[in-house]
Chains A and B, each alone.
Chain A
């Protein structure tokens, strides 16, 4: 009997000591990335879709009917150059309100990092050297005639064109490809989004914002009357999109 009491006490202590562990500082942390969207600071969710209510820099009124995009290669870099790349990629699907939050399975050591970043789209290695069944299943691939790989973003909707007709647009970003010559010429359009320095003390939640209006604004005021459809094979349009993408993302806060 006494023995059982001992065992009970022992297990109780073990259990308690376990729970108190959580209060101590941790050595490995999870990083979560939450994606929120806005049109020049007014919040956009899928409930705001399908209504013409936004005006782009070029003055066209437009709606959003679909928005999804790929982010990958979340990277934590130490000042001594040591790099932690978190496994996986995430297809943010605003239309269906899914994958707005992404927590890679790999953890990072707590401590100071001189730079945190992610890639918009896929770098060439990820884009061409992997066959991703989840992305294929959701029709995210790029035709082989455009070099294959995957879409980086699909932004679709309607705008009022210069004949006041409601017209569809499909702002699809991929790696730029020029098919006009005898050999395909490519130019990279994935880009790194730099979130700056951070000191990780605990599991951390990065709040990322995308200003959708930026895709139509800076440095190229986007004229939907000219560029509304068939943009995937349009090399120049892909470069313009890439340029406009540079200031689309920003870091709101980090909670930990």
Chain B
């Protein structure tokens, strides 16, 4: 072992001499994601691509871009218009209004804990892989910001602040679309929600009421709500499986969802299970925002299920309309669901345009 020491010393000098040559290469300040304890204890690490590490400068730039209407064709719409911080980065409108006044047929999705979507399939139908790729879409979507990337790059390049900010974030002031999406993705990965009352209950820092506790039991009980197979649990604090299911909304499926993307009829009517965190702020619910309240959602699972060929086998008692919860269990289930809302998240100044 000791024999090796001179070699290590030599190696050390070689390394040092190498890095000396590069002293003038700018490196932005690394800012790894702060992983919440419950996530650390229970689930796998977040997905951060090696070619887009989190940095202070990149996150700050991504945040500025996220709130800046400069990305839209007529400078009127920012990402945040449809993804508002006070609504856990979703939209209170059933269908969001693009810059030309057109509406899509989908409800804007809330944005949080996106780095823990391990399969990296984004949108209700999973049509885009990775957050970086996702950010390309809204800018050019004719129903949304309806811009061209060439125009965005030009506008940002001519702006008095952006070239310098890109220099700081990526070591180049030449702005291109992939750097724009990298910065936005870095910001989006910082949107971590982990401080709900239920999280604090699990950490022993808050006490649930007996109604809330019973509601959790309804959620976990296969003979009652049986929600945990798709929507997480105390062991999966994401409160979603990030997978695709048909939860029995329609007898006749018009929006094919995942089926449109895979081309497999067995996937028709399947949509990504949304996280049940932050429901207090994210109404309306479902891919088409059809339910205005949590009560309507619970009634759907209790009595309103519609049969169709692709309905998930876990949607049981379809013939009777669903799991048939008592009025008390419904009220308690709702009380529990509300404990998953994270007020610290929506009030976090790091996530607001100040």
Q: Are the C-beta atoms of B44 and A229 separated by less than 8 Å?
A: no
Residue B221 at the A interface, CB < 8 A?
A: yes
Interface membership of chain B positions 206-221, coded 1 if the CB is closer than 8 angstroms to chain A and 0 otherwise: 0000000000010011
Q: How far is the CB of A66 from chain B (nearest CB, A)?
A: 8
Interface of chain A: mostly helix, strand, loop or mixed: mixed
List B30-62 residues whose CB lies under 8 Å from chain A.
Answer: 41-44
Q: Which 6 A-B pairs have the closest CB atoms?
A: A168-B313, A50-B266, A143-B220, A141-B235, A229-B316, A156-B313
CB distance from B51 to the nearest CB of A (A): 23
**Cβ contact of A133, chosen from B43, B217, B229, B307, cutoff 8 A:** B43
With the chains together, A123 CA to B29 CA distance in Å?
47
Other-chain contact of A233, B223, B309, B315 (Cβ < 8 Å): B223
Pair B314/A170 contact, Cβ less than 8 Å: yes
Residues of B near A19 (CB, < 8 A) are none
Q: Which residue of A lies closest to B228 (CB)?
A: A143
| 19 additional contacts (CB under 8 A) given A131-B42, A136-B236, A166-B309 | A49-B266, A131-B235, A137-B236, A139-B230, A141-B233, A143-B220, A143-B222, A143-B228, A143-B233, A145-B217, A145-B221, A146-B222, A157-B313, A166-B307, A168-B316, A170-B313, A229-B313, A230-B226, A233-B223
Interface size bracket, A side? 20 to 34
* Chain A proximity of B278: nearest CB distance (Å): 19
Say which residue of A66, A139, A229 sits within 8 Å of B228 (CB atoms): A139
Smallest distance from the beta carbon of A172 to chain B beta carbons, Å? 8
Residues of A within 8 A of B266 (CB): 49-50, 65
- Residues facing A in B296-349 (CB within 8 A) are 307, 309, 311-319
Give the complex CA separation of A168 and B311 in angstroms.
Answer: 8
The number of chain B residues with a CB under 8 A from chain A is 33
**A65 to B44, alpha carbons, bound, how many Å?**
26
A-side residues, CB < 8 A to B, are 49-50, 65-66, 131, 133-134, 136-139, 141, 143-146, 156-158, 165-170, 228-233
Chain A residue at minimal CB-CB distance from B40: A133
Check if B222 sits within 8 Å of A233, measured CB to CB: yes
Report which residue of B226, B235, B313, B315 has the largest number of chain A beta carbons within 10 angstroms of its beta carbon: B313
A168 touches B314 (CB 8 A): yes
A232 touches B222 (CB 8 A): yes
Which chain A residues lie closer than 8 Å to B316 at the CB level?
Answer: 168, 170, 228-230
Contact in complex: A137, B118 (CB < 8 Å): yes
With both beta carbons as reference points, the residue of chain A lying nearest to B317 in the complex is identified as A229
Least CB separation from B273: chain A residue: A139
Q: Is the CB of B43 within 8 A of A136?
A: yes
Nearest residue (CB) in A for B230 is: A139
B100 at the interface (CB under 8 A from A): no
Cβ of B41 and Cβ of A131 under 8 Å apart?
yes
Residues from chain B with Cβ under 8 Å of A136 in the complex: 42-43, 235-236
Q: CA–CA, A230 to B225, complex, Å?
A: 11
Nearest CB on B from A137, distance (A): 4
A248 CB to closest chain B CB (Å) equals 20
Contacts of A229 in B (CB 8 A): 313, 316-317
Is B232 located at the chain interface by the 8 A CB criterion? yes
